[in-house]
Amino acid sequence: MPVVSEWTRGIFLLLTFFFWRQLCPQAAAQQSEAAGVTDSIMNGAAVVERTDITEIAIESPRKASIHRKYVYTILNSRGDEYATIRTFYDKFNDLINATGVLYDAGGNVLKKIRKSEMEDWSTAGSGILMTDARVKYYHFYCRSYPYTISFEEERERKGADGRKGKVRGR
């Protein structure tokens, strides 16, 4: 029986995932209207997760692109913490693009933000530790319920195989 490398297995699983997504399409349309949430779901809930998709494209053993999108409908003040967007990056994870959109109950756009409008913080806290890890942060403020937020980010992972730097002898 032939031995299948981890790299080949990973590519096979990735292609299978993308093929499956094409055959079984999700509701790819923007789920920004709160009207689509049924009363039985809204009863006692604070947030409804409409979409959470992560796509990983392995471009080489050392590089991968990660695209993530999520959409939350916040039903009341108990769900306001889900209106906060956080995304992390460092020297091995480049944040290529990040966008967020706030919608009212009817699906109308109230606010759009880009990566440049998000706050940029060090993950080291008060600066006692030295680290390259950073976080982009933004909180949407809306007190007219329900409302929906959508966040989309694209990152590039360097050293996707877990090794840092050049490997000699290849």
Q: Give all domains of the chain, ordered by start, each with its CATH number.
A: 31-158 (2.60.40.3140)
pLDDT, tens digit, for every residue of 42-75?
Answer: 778 999 999 999 999 998 888 999 999 999 999 9
Q: What is the pLDDT of residue 31?
A: 53
Q: Which residues contact 170 (CB under 8 A, 6 or more apart)?
A: none
Spatial distance between the Cα atoms of 57 and 66, rounded to a whole number of angstroms: 6
pLDDT, tens digit, for every residue of 133-161?
Answer: 888 999 999 989 999 999 999 999 987 55
Spatial distance between the Cα atoms of 126 and 135, rounded to a whole number of angstroms: 14
pLDDT, tens digit, for every residue of 33-44?
Answer: 666 666 767 778
DSSP 5: P
Spatial distance between the Cα atoms of 157 and 91, rounded to a whole number of angstroms: 9
User: Is the pLDDT assigned to residue 23 strictly greater than 50?
Assistant: no
pLDDT, tens digit, for every residue of 72-123?
Answer: 999 999 999 999 999 998 888 999 999 999 999 999 999 999 999 998 888 7
Task: Please check whether residue 118 is in contact with residue 138, taking contact to mean a CB–CB distance below 8 angstroms.
Answer: yes
Collapse the DSSP code of 86 into the 3-class scheme (helix H, G, I; strand E, B; otherwise coil) and give the result. Answer: strand
